[in-house]
Chain A
């Protein structure tokens, strides 16, 4: 019975936390873009414009819900749901801290420690494309369908290097469980570096971050919704909260991917050279590990915003060329070198 309650609390907590962060991210993005363009950004709704996402939400919820006459009713309504659902559930296997010991009971700060955690995240990430392509198809609009098809082509090209760079990580750590990968990143590597994934997989990390941006449909890979070419891409026909789900799901995806980067390459909740569990009490250690993990994730979330307002969008053939001619060969080379190193050292 007790385990049930704990599991429920963890689910509710991570759900609300993810939603809160995604909501805040819309504000961060708008203020961040304003900062880079020498503007102020939304600052009228609440202190520093912090309630801007709330105002947007209220407006989107109370707007008229239009289903175009020529659209395919079922696919049109299914699109945003199929996009948002995998985005909301992907965080389940990613840790958000080490463990909390309350009343002698050990609580692991992760909803589910699945031994195929990796595959779960990759599978759900690939699911998101169904939402985009069904929404684009169901809208019965030429721009929507172009956006949807672009997203499919992009996903097929980038899923391969994404998977291959993850595979190299699996080779290094010998496990699929994200918690076990986090646990072994304690200590130092080669005597002076923190024992983080990035120092064992530098090329793998670069491949991963590039493909992650493509997976999340973020600039410079936001071709499915390129405003300057195809109006608004796959969500051209969507208004009200259906659009809200698409926009919101994107931020949730970003959060999941940033957390994945931290877990795999940046030592999860470990600080470099310092072992927090040595001098912190059980409860404060749990909270500290959560905070460290979150701060690292926040940096990568900010990196998403930073890149978006710095790098211009690629042309379509450049995206395909980069994917097939550069990233896939590099990912294969990376996998080969990793396998070789492991073979020689073990």
Chain B
């Protein structure tokens, strides 16, 4: 019965999803996680003249519970890996990650014993930004890409399908 009743997402569900996606994509509060030189570029993107706040990415909060987007900017050493994982786990769903710079993406120039070669095997990454360091425009572009991605999300559909027994 449940399966027959469900013939695809209805008007109400899609509109509610659009509204939620709009809200989430317009207010991605960042958690600045600057571990090396890329952090300087991230601060620059937050400050005047680049001003990430235009997109609602304001109020950088240093408490992971309050943030939505983890901006991982910089080298991750082997000792930093558990810390990064823990910070990510402490964030509340829904959460997104931007890996900023060659170091965060692949380890970059530091092909050494101490450096973790890219954070993607520690936490799931949504947007990668190449560059050493990427310019603030790069970070802004990544943020816009992330906003596009959030808008394609279906935050309610899974629950509804489950509730209808699909």
Which positions in A face B, CB cutoff 8 Å?
A: 30, 34, 37-45, 49, 51-52, 54-59, 62-66, 227, 231-232, 235-240, 243
Residues of B within 8 A of A37 (CB): 47-48
Q: A39-B51, A41-B53, A64-B92 are in contact. Are A232 and B22 (CB under 8 A)?
A: no
Residues of A within 8 A of B20 (CB): 58, 62
Q: A39-B48, A58-B20 are in contact. Are A52 and B26 (CB under 8 A)?
A: yes
Residues of A within 8 A of B65 (CB): 66, 236-239, 243
Which positions in B face A, CB cutoff 8 Å?
A: 19-20, 22-24, 26-27, 47-49, 51, 53-56, 58, 61-63, 65-66, 68, 92-94, 155
Closest 8 CB pairs of A and B: A58-B23, A55-B26, A239-B65, A64-B93, A64-B92, A39-B51, A45-B26, A232-B63
Whether A232 contacts B66 by the Cβ 8 Å rule is: yes
Residues of A within 8 A of B48 (CB): 37-39
Q: A64-B94, A240-B92 are in contact. Are A45 and B53 (CB under 8 A)?
A: no
Q: A63-B94, A231-B63 are in contact. Are A30 and B23 (CB under 8 A)?
A: no
Query: Mind listing 18 A-B residue pairs with CB under 8 Å?
Result: A38-B48, A39-B53, A39-B54, A40-B51, A40-B54, A44-B54, A44-B56, A52-B56, A55-B24, A56-B27, A58-B19, A58-B24, A59-B24, A59-B26, A64-B92, A232-B62, A237-B65, A243-B66
Q: Can you name 9 extra interface pairs (CB under 8 A) apart from A41-B54, A42-B54, A232-B61? A: A30-B53, A34-B51, A38-B49, A42-B56, A42-B58, A55-B56, A58-B19, A64-B92, A232-B62
Residues of B within 8 A of A42 (CB): 53-56, 58
Whether A58 contacts B22 by the Cβ 8 Å rule is: yes
C-alpha gap A57/B55 in the complex (Å): 15
